[in-house]
Structure 1
Amino acid sequence: MELLERAREAIDTSYAPYSEYRVGAAIRTADGTVFTGCNIENANYSNSVHAEELAISKAVEAGHREFGAVAVASSERDGVTPCGMCRQTLAEFCDDDLAIYCDEGDGEHSTYTLGELLPNTITAAHLDR
């Protein structure tokens, strides 16, 4: 799958000297454009940037607001899923049916929807209450 391959390639640019857990992500926009991101660690862990966060930020910066799928891979090929913070960031721009592909290694992947990984998410509608 091309989207997973792009996520795997993004791992190569990761900066993870502290955890040594390198992550890459690729997000496909509604028009088929793919943006990638990698994790960038900081000695102050709370300032680290997550791969999914970087990929969607680059896409939004380029003017995209609709997305079709995201893929995530780690150097461990362990089926990593987006963390809670990244799930919430994805939910800002994506519907519950967004496909999320997670690299299991050996050519295998798991597929989830954003709604499965983040049920009952906080949305802009909650701020109107």
Structure 2
Amino acid sequence: MSLKDAALAVRKNAHAPYSNFQVGAALRTASGNIYVGCNVENVAYPEGTCAEAGAIAAMVAAGERDLAEVYVVADCPTPIPPCGGCRQKLKEFGDGEVKVTLGTTDGAETETTIGTLLPGAFDQGHMERS
């Protein structure tokens, strides 16, 4: 299954009764495995979970840590970018060159990278003491 197909399929499982904005995300790891996530809203905003965060949680729960590629899709006029928090979450598990494809349910796509989505990212190097 392609990342696009996986993201489109899981998007249908989103729990979005408040916004009606369903998002799907699929991640491929360095090992070739695919993990998926969809947004899960909660009436007590902002306690929901983004699709990317759900896919990352599934990946980590399976014991994997190395992103190789990402696909995010929603029913919107232009390809959907990850929120700021999810950009940082993606950076935690993938280097700046990891390909990220942003898509719409109509088939529009934009290819980018984690580094382009989050320039100047906070990373482990910032935690080192001099």
TM-score (norm 2): 0.93
Give runs of aligned pairs for residues 18-29 of structure 1, distance below 5 A: 18-29=18-29
Q: 1:11, 1:75 within 8 Å by CA — same for their partners in 2?
A: no
Q: 1:77, 1:103 within 8 Å by CA — same for their partners in 2?
A: no
For 1:98-121, what per-residue CA distance to the aligned partner results, in whole angstroms no more than 9, with x for missing partners?
Answer: 110011444331100011110000
Higher mean C-alpha displacement, 98-107 vs 57-66: 98-107
Q: 2:75, 2:104 within 8 Å by CA — same for their partners in 1?
A: no
Q: Cα RMSD between the aligned structures?
A: 1.4
Q: 1:98, 1:114 within 8 Å by CA — same for their partners in 2?
A: yes
Residue 9 of structure 2 corresponds to which residue in structure 1? 9
Give runs of aligned pairs for residues 76-115 of structure 1, distance below 5 A: 76=76, 78-115=78-115
Residue 33 of structure 1 corresponds to which residue in structure 2? 33
Q: Determine helix, strand or coil for the equivalent of 1:47.
A: coil
Higher mean C-alpha displacement, 98-107 vs 5-14: 98-107
Identity of aligned residues (%): 39
Could you tell me which runs of 5 or more consecutive residues in structure 1 were left unpaired when the two chains were aligned. none
Q: 1:21, 1:75 within 8 Å by CA — same for their partners in 2?
A: yes
Q: CA deviation at 1:81?
A: 1.1
Number of residue-to-residue matches in the alignment: 129
Higher mean C-alpha displacement, 31-40 vs 96-105: 96-105
Could you tell me which runs of 5 or more consecutive residues in structure 2 were left unpaired when the two chains were aligned. none
| Distance in 2 of aligned mates of 1:42 and 1:106 | 27
Q: Determine helix, strand or coil for the equivalent of 1:54.
A: helix
Q: 1:70, 1:99 within 8 Å by CA — same for their partners in 2?
A: yes
TM-score (norm 1): 0.94
